[in-house]
Amino acid sequence: MLQSIPREDTFLHKGLRAKLVDELVKLGIKDAAVIAAIQKIPRHFFLEPGFERYAYENRAFTILANQTISHPYTVAFQTELLAIKKFDKVLEVGTGSAYQTCVLAELGAQVFSIERQKELYDYANHFFYLKKYGTIKRFYGDGFAGLPTYGPFDKIIITAGAPKIPEQLVAQLKIGGIMIIPLGENEQQQMLRLTKLEDGSLQEEHFGSFSFVPMLEGKNDKR
């Protein structure tokens, strides 16, 4: 299995990463811990070996099951909005390549990540780089349902375009907790930060439009 074989992180890769980080800073990313995590994690490990050269361009890229690894900028932006503190319990919907998952773990979060595509979930079981992070738990399931037995969570991040705010996820968010959700039924979604207030209601802030693959109901076990 190709993904189980460790790969190299060369000076060339590190240099390309430094350039990518410069680009993210120019685009407005400010959080030093987020920047350090992106500088540290070899994003090329998350693409198939033949496509490594695209890993340090600020672009999304197709992965297994016709899904995508998000733009580096989008990962940095969503992570910055989450304001991760060490030991935060974070629910991630849409493991995908697990790149965002590792960025969260690198910031000290305990990550509970759900993926609805069996093929992607299985692939990550053998991915050598994930073995580095003991604080990541992955689940094959439907993100609309969340993980009630593991909640409530300090933070929730959705990395697929959500047609609506999932009620069950709101219920699994702590008071004072934050959910970052790209909301919208079309190709473009609005990035929202929802903060759960004392009375259980949600304070809503908007952060511009983004484009994600859709958040879909149910699991998919096709290979």
Closest CB 217 distance from ligand SAH, rounded Å: 6
Helices (H) and strands (E) in the chain, counts: 6, 9
- Tell me if 114 contacts ligand SAH by CB under 6 A: yes
Gap between the Cα atoms of 155 and 45, Å rounded? 26
Gap between the Cα atoms of 133 and 196, Å rounded? 29
* Residue with Cβ nearer ligand SAH (115 or 154): 115
* Residue with Cβ nearer ligand SAH (67 or 172): 67
* Residue with Cβ nearer ligand SAH (69 or 130): 69
- Specify whether 70 is catalytic: yes
Q: Which residues contact 50 (CB under 8 A, 6 or more apart)?
A: none
What phi and psi, each to the nearest 5 degrees, are found at residue 183?
-110, 125
Gap between the Cα atoms of 132 and 37, Å rounded? 14
Q: Is 143 helix (H, G, I), strand (E, B) or coil?
A: coil
Q: Can you give the C-alpha Rg of the chain in angstroms?
A: 16
Could you tell me which stretch among 12-20, 24-32, 137-145, 178-186 binds ligand SAH (CB under 6 A)? 137-145
Convert residues 32-71 into a mask of x (bound to ligand SAH by CB under 6 A) and - (unbound).
Answer: -----------------------------------xxxx-
Closest CB 119 distance from ligand SAH, rounded Å: 9
- Tell me if 94 contacts ligand SAH by CB under 6 A: yes
- Tell me if 210 contacts ligand SAH by CB under 6 A: no
Q: Which residues contact 29 (CB under 8 A, 6 or more apart)?
A: 35, 73, 76, 77, 80
Site for ligand SAH in 145-174 (CB under 6 A): 159-160
Q: Which residues contact 122 (CB under 8 A, 6 or more apart)?
A: none
* Residue with Cβ nearer ligand SAH (143 or 151): 143
Site residues (CB under 6 A) for ligand SAH? 67-70, 93-94, 96-97, 99-100, 114-117, 120, 142-144, 159-160, 213, 215-216
